[in-house]
């Protein structure tokens, strides 16, 4: 099978009941991202940040993967060496749908990080700002989430995959946040075909060769079926 890099955003999990960020009544219309998604916000008020992520973690635990998550896991199982699943999402719905080795470039709700010594561990369901780090015992626990102004994880691996890709597919992302929003240009420059699957055209829609519009739970399984039937899904 062709080498496919798939980038997913909040739209992949929208039909599982997890909010997006910039749609009507999205998370950033209800919270100031400077308060809950920046290192400065965490330094000012760690309790507010933990409250925000504890609520998102609870929503995630109560949610279930939708047909789009299951379809991507099915595609990856069919050709694990050809499919690279990169996500901006911090939920674990792809893993719960059976996907493996998901590249969480913005971190994960299920992981905790020590702001002092860098130790990482599985997050408890409810994180407490005064909880001591298991490694250094200092009370510097934070969610293992990449905040604005911080550098995303796994960028070397992602850029290597983009150079090698025959196809780049973006699913359910508005194309507003870099470096993820620039992946389509990197893939196209390396000769990959590019496809956007979204409910509506994203900010970077004009950079994609092809686009299919509709809810992820419908258009992603249909696209995966085409790829698995050898129609390349273009
Ligand atoms: N099916 C497919 N796409 C959908 C659906 C759906 N059911 N519902 C919404 N969408 C699309 C919207 O059209 C939009 O393009 O999902 C996208 C959601 O955009 P954003 O809310 O901006 O989410 P995302 O692109 O993932 O944001 C990127 O910004 O705030 C940071 O770190 C955060 O990872 C996030 C990053
Ligand atoms: Zn520590």
- What order do you get walking across the sheet with 193-198 strand by strand? 103-104, 83-87, 4-8, 167-171, 193-198, 210-213
60 known ligand binder: no
Task: Report which protein residue has its CA nearest ligand 1's atom 23.
Answer: 10
17 known ligand binder: yes
- Enumerate the active-site residues: 106
Tell me, what's the pLDDT at 134?
A: 96
Angle, CA 10 vertex, CA 7 and CA 16 arms, to 5°: 115
155 CA to middle of ligand 2, Å? 24
Angle, CA 198 vertex, CA 6 and CA 154 arms, to 5°: 30
For the chain, which ranges sit under pLDDT 70? Answer: 232-234
Tell me, what's the pLDDT at 129?
A: 84
Probe ligand 1: pick from 23, 53, 201, max atoms within 8 Å of CB? 23
* Residue 81: exposure state from Cβ atoms within 10 A (0-12, 13-18, ≥19): exposed
Convert the pLDDT of each residue in 146-171 to its tens digit: 999 999 999 999 999 999 999 999 99
Sign of CA dihedral 150, 206, 199, 98: negative
144 known ligand binder: no
Which ipTM did the prediction report? 0.99
Q: What are residue 194's DSSP bridge partners?
A: 168
Sign of CA dihedral 197, 203, 206, 207: negative
The number of the ligand nearest the C-alpha atom of 174 reads 1
Tell me, what's the pLDDT at 234?
A: 65
Pocket lined around ligand 1, Cβ cut-off 6 Å: 9-11, 14-15, 20-23, 26, 88, 106, 172-174, 176-177, 198-200, 202, 215-216
Tell me, what's the pLDDT at 57?
A: 96
CA-to-CA distance for 68 and 199, rounded, in angstroms? 13
Tell me, what's the pLDDT at 176?
A: 96
């Amino acid at each position: 099978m062709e080498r496919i890099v798939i980038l997913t955003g909040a739209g992949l999990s929208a039909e599982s009941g997890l909010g997006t960020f910039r749609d009507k009544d999205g998370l950033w219309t209800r919270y100031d991202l400077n308060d809950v998604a920046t290192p400065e916000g965490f330094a000012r008020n760690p309790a507010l940040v933990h409250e925000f992520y504890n609520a998102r973690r609870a929503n995630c635990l109560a949610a279930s993967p939708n047909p789009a998550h299951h379809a991507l896991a099915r595609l990856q199982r069919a050709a694990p060496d050809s499919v690279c699943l990169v996500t901006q999402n911090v939920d674990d719905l792809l893993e719960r749908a059976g996907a493996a080795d998901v590249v969480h470039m913005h971190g994960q709700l299920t992981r905790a990080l020590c702001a002092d010594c860098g130790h990482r561990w599985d997050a408890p369901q409810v994180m407490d700002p005064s909880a001591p780090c298991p490694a250094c015992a200092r009370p510097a626990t934070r969610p293992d989430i990449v905040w604005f102004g911080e550098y995303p994880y796994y960028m070397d691996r992602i850029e290597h995959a983009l150079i090698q890709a025959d196809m780049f597919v973006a699913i359910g992302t508005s194309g507003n946040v870099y470096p993820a929003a620039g992946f389509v240009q990197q893939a196209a420059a390396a000769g990959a075909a590019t496809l956007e699957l979204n409910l509506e055209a994203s900010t970077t829609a004009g950079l994609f060769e092809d686009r299919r519009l509709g809810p992820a739970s419908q258009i992603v399984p249909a696209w995966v079926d085409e790829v698995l039937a050898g129609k390349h899904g273009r």
